[in-house]
């Protein structure tokens, strides 16, 4: 599906320009289309106007602007869903974690966000007929919580070869928010080259919250976070892959009734994610999941369990 970048493919763009793009790592038309013009100018050392033109032309290859609704339906048909490991969880997600979308897992510490990411990193490798994506996985780990041993255990429990499963997960530790942004920006090429069908960012917001402290820095933080999320969304759509991110909660002391915890990241986070899943601790190894703010899914609360196999349906 991806169009290889070569001289002549973008009408009216000089081959010297195309060569500059190739040299700075843009190998496909899609990788240009999902990168802001400003960045292209910087990376490839070309004028803003040239970069804008290149970008616009590339986007025409990828995104034709207004399209008939029927075409969107066709696009949605190419969407596939991956099992979370729990049938109940899959059900409230409308069948599983879907491609072309960002699924956000929100919850306090120990609510199971990372365990769900681990399980998906394994199940995504299952063939499509068995409820997976039949693809490879890329994990951006910002909290150094990625545990290969746990992945192996989940794979083994699910009857998969643990070493092969680990081989198909590419993992990058992001040391700060700038590093996280660089890693996200490198996704178009990686996804293409490495057959990635699932990208996990655990956690999406930890570094941003830790680095931009105080009201005065909030708008800059939100702007950077928003740009990073929109890049992830464009990658999800352009390459028809699934993106799963995690988010924390923050106590709001002024709450009178109900759960005082609210997702962090404000409106930027809320509007950038396609499906938001709110997780809470239940009795023992059980957890509660509820889909909030989804354009297509009803709000329903279910129970699942953290087990040796990652996550599974809770016993009655």
Scanning 144-152, 158-166, 187-195, 262-270 for contacts with Mg ion by CB under 5 A, the matching segment is 144-152
The answer to whether 261 and 63 are in contact (CB under 8 A) is no
- Residue nearest Mg ion by beta-carbon distance: 114
**243 Cβ contact partners less than 8 Å away, ≥ 6 residues apart:** 101, 102, 103, 198, 199, 200, 201, 232, 233, 235, 236
Binds 17, which of ligand GTP, Mg ion, none (CB < 5 to 8 A, cut-off by type)?
Answer: none
Contacts of 307 (CB under 8 A, 6+ apart): 157, 285
Min separation Cβ 153 and ligand GTP, Å: 6
Asked if residue 309 lies in contact with residue 85, where contact means CB atoms within 8 angstroms, the answer is yes
- Least distance in Å: CB of 312 to ligand GTP? 10
Q: Of 27 and 145, which has the nearer Cβ to Mg ion? A: 145
Dihedral of alpha carbons 297, 299, 305, 310, sign: positive
Site residues for Mg ion, 65-124, by CB under 5 A, read 113-114
Q: Which of Mg ion, ligand GTP, none does residue 115 bind to, with CB < 5 to 8 Å depending on kind?
A: ligand GTP
Binding residue count for Mg ion, defined by CB under 5 A: 3
Provide the binding-site residues for ligand GTP, judged by CB under 6 A: 107, 109-115, 145, 150, 248, 285, 306-308
Which 10-29 residues touch Mg ion, going by CB under 5 A? Answer: none
> C-beta of 157: minimal distance to ligand GTP in Å?
10
**Would you say 145 or 230 has its CB closer to Mg ion?**
145
Taking residues 228 to 267 in sequence order and writing x for each that binds Mg ion by CB under 5 A, - otherwise, the string is ----------------------------------------
Q: Which is nearer to Mg ion, 114 or 307 (CB)?
A: 114
> Whole-angstrom Cα distance, residue 109 to residue 225?
21
Find the helix or strand (DSSP H, E) in which 106 lies: strand 101-107
Contact (Cβ atoms closer than 8 angstroms) between residue 206 and residue 143: yes
Determine phi and psi for 311, rounding to 5 degrees. Answer: -120, 145
Smallest distance, Å, CB 245 to ligand GTP? 12
C-beta of 125: minimal distance to ligand GTP in Å? Answer: 19
How far apart CA 288 and CA 305 sit, in angstroms, is: 9
> Smallest distance, Å, CB 113 to Mg ion?
5
CB 151 within 8 A of CB 121: yes
Q: Which CB, 5 or 151, lies closer to ligand GTP?
A: 151
Which C-beta is closer to Mg ion: that of 84 or that of 114?
114
Phi-psi group of 65: left, alpha or beta (phi > 0 → left; psi -120 to 50 → alpha; rest → beta): left
What interhelical angle do 15-23 and 48-62 show, nearest 10? 80
| CB 164, min distance to ligand GTP, A | 20
**Using an 8 Å Cβ cutoff, are 200 and 180 in contact?**
no
Q: Are 188 and 238 in contact (CB under 8 A)?
A: yes
For ligand GTP, the closer CB: 44 or 201: 201
Residues 191-220 that bind Mg ion (CB under 5 A): none
Residue 286 contact, options ligand GTP, Mg ion, none, Cβ 5-8 Å cut-off depending on partner type: none
269: left (phi over 0), alpha (psi -120 to 50) or beta: alpha
Q: Can you tell me the distance from the alpha carbon of 85 to that of 120, in angstroms, rounded to the nearest whole number?
A: 8
Contact by Cβ (8 Å): 202, 117: yes
User: By C-beta, is 63 or 157 nearer to ligand GTP?
Assistant: 157
Closest CB to ligand GTP among residues 125, 264: 264
Q: Which residues of this protein are in contact with Mg ion, per CB under 5 A?
A: 113-114, 145
């Amino acid at each position: 599906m991806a169009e290889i970048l070569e001289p002549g493919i973008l009408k009216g763009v000089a081959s010297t320009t195309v060569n500059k793009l190739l040299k700075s790592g843009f190998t496909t038309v899609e990788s240009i289309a999902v990168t802001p013009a400003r960045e292209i100018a910087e990376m490839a050392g070309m004028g803003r106007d040239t970069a804008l033109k290149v970008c616009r032309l590339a986007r025409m290859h990828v995104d034709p602007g207004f399209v008939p609704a029927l075409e969107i339906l066709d696009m949605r048909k190419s969407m596939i869903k991956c099992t979370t490991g729990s049938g109940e969880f899959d059900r409230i997600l409308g069948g599983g974690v879907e491609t072309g979308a960002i699924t956000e897992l929100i919850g306090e510490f120990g609510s199971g966000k990372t365990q769900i990411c681990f399980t998906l990193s394994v199940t995504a490798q299952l063939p499509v007929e068995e409820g997976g994506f039949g693809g490879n996985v890329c994990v951006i780990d910002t909290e150094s919580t990625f545990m290969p041993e746990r992945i192996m255990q989940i794979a083994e429990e699910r009857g998969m070869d643990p070493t092969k499963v680990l081989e198909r997960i590419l993992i990058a530790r992001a040391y700060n928010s700038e590093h996280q942004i660089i890693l996200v920006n490198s996704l178009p090429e990686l996804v293409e080259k490495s057959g990635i069908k699932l990208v996990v960012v655990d956690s999406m917001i930890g570094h941003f919250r830790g680095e931009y402290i105080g009201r005065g820095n909030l708008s800059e933080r939100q702007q950077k976070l928003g740009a990073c999320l929109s890049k992830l969304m464009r990658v999800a759509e352009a390459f028809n892959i699934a993106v799963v991110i995690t988010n924390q909660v923050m106590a709001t002391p002024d709450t009178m009734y109900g759960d005082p915890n609210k997702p962090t990241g404000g409106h930027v986070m809320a509007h950038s994610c396609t499906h938001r899943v709110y997780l809470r601790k239940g009795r023992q190894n059980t957890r509660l999941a509820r889909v909030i703010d989804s354009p297509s899914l009803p709000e329903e609360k279910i129970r699942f369990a953290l087990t040796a196999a990652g996550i599974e349906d809770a016993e009655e």
